[in-house]
Amino acid sequence: MKFVDEATIDVAAGDGGNGCASFRHEKYKEFGGPDGGDGGRGGHVFMLADPSLNTLVDFRYTRRFEAQRGEHGKGSDMFGVKGDDVVLKVPVGTIVSDAESGQVLCELLQAGEQVMIAKGGDGGFGNMHYKSSTNRAPRQKTPGWPGERKALKLELKVLADVGLLGMPNAGKSTLIAAISNARPKIADYPFTTLHPNLGVVRVGPEKSFVVADVPGLIEGASEGAGLGHQFLRHLQRTRLLLHLVDAAPFDEAVDPVAQAKAIVAELKKFDPELHAKPRWLVLNKVDMLPPEERGARVKDIVKRLRYKGPVFEISALTREGCERLVQKAYEHIEAQRQQAIGPVEIDPRFAPGGGDDGSGSITP
């Protein structure tokens, strides 16, 4: 399936039905009175976050969605039937914004979350709505209100806990395949990854996190060079970035330190908040280095980068060092989750030292 993370669509809620002006006509009832019903409400347009979807490709070819209009009111006190609603299913993590003004209307971040995006028009009033003791034969009726019409821009930002960052052929796809259930395309040429891949990493029973692999970045990505600029947004919701650096490039003229600095600079240009996220240095392909040279090579890269954070030496191909990286990443993510939730309030009855002393009162 082609990965699509942007789409522009038009939505139109249903118009309300018109009210009816009618009078009761029945044998032996000379003055039956008004019996024109109100029109029905037009259908709404909703957005629903569906966890089974991971792309906006359904909106690439069908771009207009219209809800049903409300039925007109009728005589004999019959109100119009409301129009059917339209529910558009989108992937979790979709941002819905107004295509003209750019205003963000909603963000669907929870599975099953549903938001009304266009309101259907109310039905018009029939003449029975206007009857009173002083207006016993009203002939007024009102038309239905028009439903809302909007041009929308849909933008998908994948929801992942960990994002993989690095130059093309740094080993990101190999790593996500080694630690998760994802099976991306892996080859020995640049830009093998053409769209983001998501994988679930199982650390233990009921312990897991989601990792995202985006196309490799090159210098100038924030201005549109290469492929990665299209998908940098997918890293904005991650809690941790793993910066993969090829510690043993095939071309001796390639400087991994210069490449790493270029990527960090692109992050800062694209989004300062993304640049400020926790970022760990992961030196990949250490199995290609002679054992006696590995330590010196790692120290040289770290020193030249002036990097002060955690450093991991791994081989995504042989899975050397991957288990430690996964454990540390999970511990970091879980700590952030707990911090976001905040301290859990404990009922005083179940706090240490609390309880019933037998007299019917709670011991403080």
Out of 67-71, 265-269, 280-284, pick the least confident: 265-269
- 106 Cβ contact partners less than 8 Å away, ≥ 6 residues apart: 47, 95, 96, 115, 117
pLDDT for 203 beyond 90: no
Main-chain dihedrals φ then ψ at residue 332, nearest 5 degrees? -65, -45
Q: How far apart are CA 280 and CA 339, in angstroms?
A: 20
pLDDT for 180 beyond 60: yes
Query: Helix or strand or coil: residue 120?
Result: coil
* Whole-number pLDDT of residue 361: 47
pLDDT for 229 beyond 70: no
pLDDT for 85 beyond 90: yes
Q: How far apart are CA 197 and CA 188, in angstroms?
A: 18
Using the 8-state DSSP alphabet, how is residue 133 labeled? S
Q: Which residues share a beta bridge with 288?
A: none
Q: What are the structure tokens assigned to 205, written together?
A: 């029973």
Query: What is the overall mean pLDDT for the chain?
Result: 81
Contact of 80 with 40, CB cutoff 8 Å: yes
- 255 Cβ contact partners less than 8 Å away, ≥ 6 residues apart: none
* Whole-number pLDDT of residue 142: 92
For range 186-212, the mean pLDDT: 68
* Whole-number pLDDT of residue 92: 85
- 188 Cβ contact partners less than 8 Å away, ≥ 6 residues apart: 169
pTM of the model: 0.64
* Whole-number pLDDT of residue 266: 78
Whole-angstrom CA distances from 15 to 41, 77, 82, 286 are 7, 21, 10, 65
Q: How far apart are CA 97 and CA 103, in angstroms?
A: 5
Report percent pLDDT > 70 for the chain.
82
Q: How far apart are CA 282 and CA 325, in angstroms?
A: 9
Q: Which residues share a beta bridge with 150?
A: 11
Nearest C-alpha neighbor of 312 from the set 279, 338, 289 = 279
Query: Helix or strand or coil: residue 167?
Result: coil
pLDDT for 247 beyond 80: yes
Query: Helix or strand or coil: residue 267?
Result: helix
* Whole-number pLDDT of residue 364: 46
